[in-house]
Amino acid sequence: MQVKDLVEQFDLEVVAGNKGLDRQVKDGYCGDLLSEIMANAPEGSVWLTIQGHQNIVAVAVLREMAAIIIAGGQTPDQETLQKAEQEKIPILLWPHSAYKLAGRLYGLGVGNPQSD
Protein backbone atom coordinates (compact mmCIF):
# COMPACT_ATOMS: atom_id res chain seq x y z
CA MET A 1 0.00 0.00 0.00
CA GLN A 2 1.21 3.49 -0.81
CA VAL A 3 0.66 6.76 1.05
CA LYS A 4 -1.59 7.98 -1.77
CA ASP A 5 -3.87 4.96 -1.14
CA LEU A 6 -4.34 6.09 2.46
CA VAL A 7 -5.07 9.63 1.29
CA GLU A 8 -7.87 8.33 -0.93
CA GLN A 9 -9.19 5.74 1.53
CA PHE A 10 -9.50 8.15 4.47
CA ASP A 11 -9.93 11.48 2.67
CA LEU A 12 -6.75 12.86 4.24
CA GLU A 13 -5.64 16.37 3.34
CA VAL A 14 -2.15 16.54 1.84
CA VAL A 15 -0.46 19.76 3.02
CA ALA A 16 3.16 18.94 2.14
CA GLY A 17 5.35 16.32 0.53
CA ASN A 18 3.34 15.52 -2.59
CA LYS A 19 6.46 14.04 -4.16
CA GLY A 20 6.50 11.33 -1.48
CA LEU A 21 2.97 10.03 -1.97
CA ASP A 22 4.26 6.91 -3.69
CA ARG A 23 6.15 5.78 -0.56
CA GLN A 24 5.29 2.31 0.66
CA VAL A 25 3.45 2.05 3.99
CA LYS A 26 4.77 -0.94 5.90
CA ASP A 27 3.54 -0.20 9.42
CA GLY A 28 2.00 2.43 11.65
CA TYR A 29 2.98 4.18 14.85
CA CYS A 30 1.24 6.58 17.23
CA GLY A 31 2.92 8.94 19.61
CA ASP A 32 3.92 12.47 20.47
CA LEU A 33 7.12 12.06 22.50
CA LEU A 34 9.86 12.51 19.90
CA SER A 35 12.51 10.52 21.77
CA GLU A 36 10.14 7.56 22.04
CA ILE A 37 9.32 7.77 18.32
CA MET A 38 13.04 7.92 17.43
CA ALA A 39 13.69 4.83 19.53
CA ASN A 40 10.74 2.67 18.50
CA ALA A 41 8.93 3.63 15.28
CA PRO A 42 9.49 1.03 12.55
CA GLU A 43 10.92 1.99 9.17
CA GLY A 44 8.21 2.64 6.60
CA SER A 45 5.66 3.67 9.21
CA VAL A 46 2.89 6.14 8.85
CA TRP A 47 3.18 8.22 12.03
CA LEU A 48 0.09 9.57 13.79
CA THR A 49 0.79 12.57 16.02
CA ILE A 50 -0.63 15.90 17.14
CA GLN A 51 2.76 17.63 16.89
CA GLY A 52 3.16 20.28 14.21
CA HIS A 53 6.67 21.71 14.63
CA GLN A 54 9.53 21.06 12.23
CA ASN A 55 11.25 18.50 14.47
CA ILE A 56 8.66 15.93 13.38
CA VAL A 57 10.11 16.04 9.87
CA ALA A 58 13.62 15.39 11.18
CA VAL A 59 12.36 12.38 13.14
CA ALA A 60 10.47 11.07 10.11
CA VAL A 61 13.61 11.33 7.97
CA LEU A 62 15.73 9.66 10.66
CA ARG A 63 13.30 6.73 10.98
CA GLU A 64 12.67 6.56 7.19
CA MET A 65 8.92 6.94 7.68
CA ALA A 66 6.40 6.81 4.86
CA ALA A 67 4.36 9.81 6.06
CA ILE A 68 3.25 11.90 9.01
CA ILE A 69 -0.44 12.23 9.80
CA ILE A 70 -1.28 15.10 12.10
CA ALA A 71 -4.52 14.25 13.87
CA GLY A 72 -7.07 16.01 16.02
CA GLY A 73 -7.51 19.05 13.82
CA GLN A 74 -3.99 20.28 14.58
CA THR A 75 -2.04 22.04 11.83
CA PRO A 76 1.70 22.27 11.21
CA ASP A 77 3.57 25.55 11.15
CA GLN A 78 5.01 26.98 7.93
CA GLU A 79 8.57 25.91 8.71
CA THR A 80 7.38 22.32 9.09
CA LEU A 81 5.67 22.41 5.71
CA GLN A 82 8.77 23.82 4.03
CA LYS A 83 11.02 21.19 5.62
CA ALA A 84 8.63 18.39 4.61
CA GLU A 85 8.66 19.62 1.01
CA GLN A 86 12.47 19.64 1.00
CA GLU A 87 12.64 16.13 2.43
CA LYS A 88 9.71 14.79 0.37
CA ILE A 89 7.94 13.60 3.53
CA PRO A 90 4.16 13.69 3.10
CA ILE A 91 2.30 15.51 5.84
CA LEU A 92 -1.37 14.63 5.95
CA LEU A 93 -4.14 16.06 8.09
CA TRP A 94 -6.89 14.11 9.84
CA PRO A 95 -9.55 16.16 11.67
CA HIS A 96 -10.56 13.48 14.16
CA SER A 97 -8.71 11.65 16.94
CA ALA A 98 -5.59 9.62 16.23
CA TYR A 99 -7.26 6.72 18.04
CA LYS A 100 -10.04 6.49 15.45
CA LEU A 101 -7.64 6.60 12.52
CA ALA A 102 -5.26 4.09 14.11
CA GLY A 103 -8.09 1.59 14.43
CA ARG A 104 -9.10 2.10 10.81
CA LEU A 105 -5.52 1.77 9.56
CA TYR A 106 -5.05 -1.43 11.53
CA GLY A 107 -8.33 -2.78 10.16
CA LEU A 108 -7.09 -2.02 6.66
CA GLY A 109 -4.01 -4.13 7.36
CA VAL A 110 -1.43 -1.47 8.24
CA GLY A 111 0.73 -3.02 10.95
CA ASN A 112 -1.59 -6.01 11.24
CA PRO A 113 0.55 -9.19 11.20
CA GLN A 114 -2.42 -11.20 9.91
CA SER A 115 -2.40 -9.16 6.71
CA ASP A 116 1.26 -9.93 5.88
pLDDT tens, position by position, 36-95:
999 999 999 999 999 999 999 999 999 999 999 999 999 999 999 999 999 999 999 999
Give alpha helix (H) positions in the chain.
3-10, 34-40, 55-62, 78-87, 98-108
Per-residue burial over 46-69, b = 16 or more CB atoms within 10 Å of its CB, e = otherwise: bbbbebbebebbebbeebebbbbb
Return the SS3 of 92: strand
Give me the pLDDT at residue 112, please.
72
pLDDT tens, position by position, 28-38:
999 999 999 99
Residues 6 or more apart whose CB falls under 8 angstroms from that of 107 comprise none
Tell the CATH topology of 3-109. Answer: 3.40.1390
- φ, ψ at 25 (rounded to 5°): -95, 115
Domain residue ranges of the chain, discontinuous segments joined by +: 3-109
Question: Helices 98-108 and 3-10 sit at what angle, rounded to 10 degrees?
Answer: 120
Give me the pLDDT at residue 114, please.
60
Q: Would the pTM count as exceeding 0.75? A: yes
